[in-house]
Amino acid sequence: MSEEKSSMSENETNQAPEEQPQDAAEAAEATAEDTGAAAPEEDVVAQLKSEVADLKDRLLRAVAETENVRRRAEKDKADASAYGVTAFARDMLNVSDNLRRALDSAPTEVTEDLKGFVEGVDMTERELLNILERHGIRKVEPEVGEKFDHQFHQAMFEVPTNEHTPGSVMQVVAAGYVIKDRLLRPAMVGVAKGEVQKVDTEV
């Protein structure tokens, strides 16, 4: 019996070294499988992060575009409310101009027959200007000697003179008008121009 046990121990001892390389190979293969499984997971995570970042960027752009559209719509609505009467107001300026011309052409001293007519024209002009002003339309009428302002005045002609500063208003041909903060029509004016001094060439 002791000889058989001794023989079995020797066989087990001889077989053990052969099994060790097989165990090492299996362990290496398992490690490789774990590494291979981890790599695709990292790729998936990176791809998902990229997609999330892209979707977030698209969302922010869409929100910004929506906000811009809303602001433009509000501005268009405000402009339509403020300047919707621009074309009509521009046509009404001719009526105001004609009323003013009628008053300017009236004699200084009028008869009783014309007095009521002139007063009626004057009242009509004032009422028209009040209505225009209620709708944000204001009259711009520069005074003689006022500095020419290219934003609100339009020079129709120049007047050579030494009595006024060159570039100042000499005459108002027609009043201008603004609607809210926009120019509806510039005031048409004559502008002072310095006279050329004659040089005496006689000896």
Whether the pLDDT of residue 99 is over 60: the answer is: yes
Give the per-residue pLDDT at 46.
Answer: 85
Give the per-residue pLDDT at 176.
Answer: 94
* pTM of the predicted structure, to 2 decimals: 0.59
Whether the pLDDT of residue 16 is over 50: the answer is: no
Calculate what percentage of the chain has a pLDDT beyond 70: 76
DSSP, collapsed to helix, strand or coil, labels residue 1 as coil
**Is the domain covering 139-203 a CATH 3.40.1410.10 domain?**
no
Distance CA 109, CA 120 (A): 16
Which amino acid makes up residue 21?
P
- 83 or 158, which is more confident? 158
- 147 or 11, which is more confident? 147
- 111 or 175, which is more confident? 175
Measured at the CA of 144, the angle between CA 143 and CA 147, to 5 degrees, comes to: 80
Give the per-residue pLDDT at 34.
Answer: 54
As beta bridge partners, residue 193 has 160
- The answer to whether the beta carbons of residues 166 and 193 sit under 8 Å apart is yes
- 52-76 pLDDT, tens digit each: 999 999 999 999 999 999 998 888 8
Annotated domain spans of the chain: 1-83, 85-135, 139-203
Work out the mean pLDDT of the chain and round it to a whole number.
80
- 31 or 53, which is more confident? 53
pLDDT average, residue stretch 121-141: 92
